[in-house]
Structure 1
């Protein structure tokens, strides 16, 4: 069975195409499941839409939910549409997000770290200005945020873990015990991590996935598509990659319940 649990659409301000476009693309590719998981609004902010190029408005969120639920019914029998969201891990707003997201009939919640200690995961310049020790400390700070997100109890999936590898040169070669500690925490809290294929540098990398398997961490797949044509991108290659590492199953979610599917066809 083919699936993709991580897709965005035009409501978030930085993706292209409607939700229907993503579902149609998945149907055309013969997929079994398509997850719609756009960025949650910034619920803790006073403004309705403080970041128009990052997330939908708070006032748009109920319409987003309703549209996906409607499309679930419309496409029943062609493909199973899953209702998800991608929520930023914001340590000071956990109760607010827990209460709001818990009031909707979501199939799953992806928790992603995009900013930590005031640093954006896209800020290559900041990274390049750091000393070797400063880079190691920043990597450990990032893992601390990942660990906290796993402990929060809000998320079913941790999104694009180690995405800094895409933007911070030399990131992957820095080894820290904090990586192992974080994986042990993820396993202890039984949270799934995604293999994210938003570009050709998939994350996490092979080393972290091997360690994840060692600790019993479960995995899933998300393309992080921001345009319909990229739905399911690299699915088959990643399936084979996970088999080579030693994984034998991966997860999807329905009604916040995890279902494990075999990697073998």
Structure 2
């Protein structure tokens, strides 16, 4: 059975440790047959080469990143399948610019992630201070509206960590917005996009994985495909909790998960 991890970063983004080769070697050591490299895209919405040095790679590093992954893909052929991925923020105002930039290169898949709502990072705990019940519901509903909108663009094969807003604010999960979540999952299913089970939640205040079991149960109900990503920012986290995730998915009722090659899904039984 093919084992994979599609969500890994490296030093170019400015907030991860290690080279791409380090992650490939860690994947081999973990017994994976497939590893996807998916560092953060440059911020294309600015004229600066590297608008956010500790968040995303520079524009001038983008092509060298792609070339390095493709070189490692050839070097490790027959040992492990190295896939060229990328994680792209979803910025509605820059969507077409990102679409054109991402279409120029031979990505096996693109992970689309919403990292900010209303111009504030989803991981910023301060946004919730003085926020009443109605405001909390509005913020959560807007988060899921943006995720659904990102699915409708068709730009992404995978949607990243779809309840990561709980990362540094665990009470996010208790904000009542089940209608917005269900609408989002219906849209994702209709678009044929996959969601990842992302184990990096264990590095945040919330602990555990993204998304929660109740969201995964709803995803199964609506027919949403799932994939796996550790979101490793250091090589030692590659494939973290993969077996436990597979067991949990089977308990919930999933029979398979997918990875993407040349932007097409490859189904793997659980």
Whether TM-score is above 0.5 comes out as yes
Match of 1:68 in 2: 69
One of 180, 189, 192 as aligned partner of 1:178: 180
1:228 deviates by: 0.4
C-alpha displacement of 1:36: 0.1
Deviation at 1:128, TM superposition (A): 3.2
**Per-residue deviation, residues 144-175 of structure 1 (Å, max 9, x unmatched):** 11011011110000000010122223111222
Counterpart position of 2:212: 205
Gaps of at least 5 residues in structure 2 are 203-207
CA RMSD of aligned residues (A): 0.8
Q: Tell me if 1:248 matches 2:252.
A: no
Give the counterpart of 2:192 among 190, 208, 228. 190
Q: Which residue of 1 aligns with 2:133?
A: 132
Q: Distance in 2 between matches of 1:199 and 1:19?
A: 22
Q: Structure 2 length as normaliser, TM-score? A: 0.96
1:236 paired to 2:243 = yes
**For residue 80 of structure 2, what is the aligned residue in structure 1?**
79
Deviation per residue, 1:11-45 (Å, 9 max, x gap): 00000000000000111111110000000001121
1:76-225 matched pairs, under 5 angstroms: 76-176=77-177, 177-200=179-202, 201-225=208-232
Contact 1:115/1:121 (CA < 8 Å) preserved in 2?
Answer: yes
- Structure 2: distance between partners of 1:56 and 1:44: 13
> TM-score, structure 1 length as denominator?
0.98
SS in 2 for 1:170: helix
Q: Deviations over 1:192-226 (max 9, x none)?
A: 00000013220100000000000000000000000
- CA–CA distance in structure 2, aligned partners of residues 168 and 199 of structure 1: 11
Q: Secondary structure at the match of 1:224?
A: coil
Number of aligned residue pairs? 263
Distance 2:33 2:163 in 1: 28
CA apart distance, 1:231: 0.3
Contact 2:117 2:139 in 1 (8 A): no
- 2:195 and 2:224 in contact (8 A); partners too: yes
Does the CA contact (< 8 Å) of 1:160 and 1:196 recur in 2? yes
What SS does the aligned partner of 1:39 have?
coil
The runs of 5 or more residues in structure 1 that have no matched partner are none
Deviations 1:50-98 (A, max 9, x none): 1100010001100000000000000011100000000000001111111
Aligned residues of 1:194 and 1:220 also touching (Cα < 8 A):
yes
